[in-house]
A and B are shown apart, each in its own frame.
Chain A
Amino acid sequence: MSLILDNISHIYSQGDAYEKKALDGVSLKIEDGEFIGIIGHTGSGKSTLIQHLNGLLKATEGNIYFNGQDIYDKDYDLRDLRMQVGMVFQYPEHQLFDETVFKDVCFGPRNQGLPEKDVTLRAYEALKNVGLDEKYYDVSPFELSGGQKRRAAIAGVIAMKPQVLVLDEPTAGLDPQGRDEILDMIAENHQRYGNTVILVSHSMEDVAKYVDRIIVMDDGRVRFDGEPKEVFRHYKELEEIGLAAPQVTYLMHDLKDAGYAVSCDATTVEEAKDEIMKMLGSR
């Protein structure tokens, strides 16, 4: 069970003046249960890439295999793919539409053709998992605060129990606590269900803290792909493509340059703290 992208290219407006190669020979293998971060400058191809994962965009060249099946095969059921690869777009609360939060969350599982009883159970479970209090279930989604709306919208996608959950900047516009709560919630759900999570983010600090693997996109290509500490070792190259390493990674490099015997692999506050304490302890 996996998601394989084999040499994918995508060209927008092929043949006219606005022709643009947004993806250029991208090959990736995403295993079941991975927690992946995708980072890249605006226009690097991140959004184009994730829209291929559930067949919203069709590659100009190359193939995509989901659980061993070619999704471009004419007999392949794209509808089924979209049930299995759940997509949370930027500002997902703009897609809330129903009279009550609960009804809104029911929409997805009902569309999947589940019996009404299961639809209700799924909606309860999803709303509980995103940490939205029961008192909000029967109110209009438009009466919720920004962070609550975001949770309700994410619940609508996870209620479909997708095997792969893709989130495009799920914390944009939230305050620091709202941001931490949403990311903690996503990580908890990942632990609970072991589903694959793909997180597109602009925050190197968030990516370093939560994901196991980072894919760096640049100019339509995969520039780096690996564990956070491996990827952030290339901080100089990342800067050249408009990205950066987490602040603490820079600090570790500064310390090393100042003559301290530290490893520069720390990418989170916790790791940096441990490394500095270890260094001071050995003096």
Chain B
Amino acid sequence: MSFIEAKDLVHEYIMRDEEGNVEGVQVALDHLDLNVEQGQFIAVLGHNGSGKSTFAKHLNALLVPSEGTLYVGGMDVSDESLTYDIRQTAGMVFQNPDNQIIASVIQEDVGFGPENIGVPTEDIWARVEKSLKAVGMWAYREHSPNKLSGGQKQRVAIAGVMAMEPKCIILDEPTAMLDPDGRKDVLAAVHELNKTKGVTIILITHYMEEVVDADYVYVMDKGKVVMEGNPTGIFSQVETLKEHHLDVPQITMLAHELKQEGLPLKDGILTREELIQEIDRICH
């Protein structure tokens, strides 16, 4: 069994009027099938309203399926008795760091999670140190979060999740509110966690550049998986991505346009190095 296994997953939002009568049903997830292996770095793309966040909220049982099944670490998310175990397995980082930081001192904020799950005090401090060091925020441990930049706050939020030692971290557009520098730092911290600690990462994003280094990419539209593959495979389909209201990295776009002009370039060029190699090949 895969670490995450969604089969025929359906989620319906039921809209009610003031008297509680059902006004309409909106299908947010429509028979979604998706598997993730332990230790993978997965990116999920999709335009606003494609169902990605609804899916993310199922992964730690904030929402439960209307139909179909979802297993996380072998646990059925529909089984209420497992909710807490699931939340310890799959941690969540949201878009706005201000909504997830609660303490007035950074190290206390990071310690809040492990304290809540009953970790002994000495172990809490060890975890706080390890987590803050992993995201490069150890130097700020005694600071107040409200003087930090957005990128720094988001890294503190990630440390807070890490301190719970989940096997998997889901990040729902963690960089949407950050500047390019903050974005880079957060991404580097997440990649580091994946590589050194083997934490499974599910990154939901609108920034195509952030997807380039993922192991595998899922593209969602209308609550379904409409494309999947490695980044090269996904970004070689420029036109299909556009149909799903998405984009490609700027270098991929340039390679695509050059190809349309008749240059014999290979598909799915993601980096400057690849494009230069291809131009070299054509010229020599």
Q: What residues of chain A have their CB less than 8 Å away from a CB belonging to chain B? A: 41-43, 145-147, 172-178, 180, 202, 204-205, 242-244, 246-248, 250-251, 254-255, 258, 260, 269-270, 272-273, 276-277, 280, 283
The answer to whether the Cβ of B121 comes within 8 Å of any Cβ in the partner chain is: no
Residues in A with CB closer than 8 Å to B209 are 247
Residues in A with CB closer than 8 Å to B49 are 145-146
Q: A250's contact among B245, B261, B272, by CB below 8 Å, is which?
A: B272
Cα distance A28–B177 when bound, in Å? 28
Closest A residue, CB atoms, query B241: A176
Count chain B residues whose beta carbon lies closer than 8 angstroms to a beta carbon of A.
38
Question: In the complex, are the beta carbons of B257 and A254 less than 8 A apart?
Answer: no
Residues in A with CB closer than 8 Å to B246 are 175-177
Cα distance A202–B177 when bound, in Å? 10
Cα distance A255–B280 when bound, in Å? 9
Question: In the complex, are the beta carbons of A242 and B180 less than 8 A apart?
Answer: yes
Question: In the complex, are the beta carbons of A269 and B254 less than 8 A apart?
Answer: yes
Q: What residues of chain B have their CB less than 8 Å away from a CB belonging to chain A? A: 46-49, 95, 149-151, 173, 176-177, 179-182, 206, 208-209, 245-247, 249-251, 253-254, 257-258, 261, 263, 272-273, 275-276, 279-280, 282-283
Residues in A with CB closer than 8 Å to B206 are 174-176
Question: In the complex, are the beta carbons of B250 and A205 less than 8 A apart?
Answer: yes
Residues A41 and B179 in contact in the complex (CB < 8 Å), given A173-B173, A175-B246, A247-B251: yes
Residues in A with CB closer than 8 Å to B245 are 175-178
Q: A173's contact among B47, B176, B251, by CB below 8 Å, is which?
A: B176
Cα distance A175–B250 when bound, in Å? 15
B124 to chain A, nearest CB (A): 31
Question: In the complex, are the beta carbons of B272 and A276 less than 8 A apart?
Answer: no
Closest A residue, CB atoms, query B151: A42
Residues in A with CB closer than 8 Å to B263 are 280
Residues in B with CB closer than 8 Å to A176 are 47, 206, 208, 245-247
A230 to chain B, nearest CB (A): 20
Residues in B with CB closer than 8 Å to A202 are 179-180
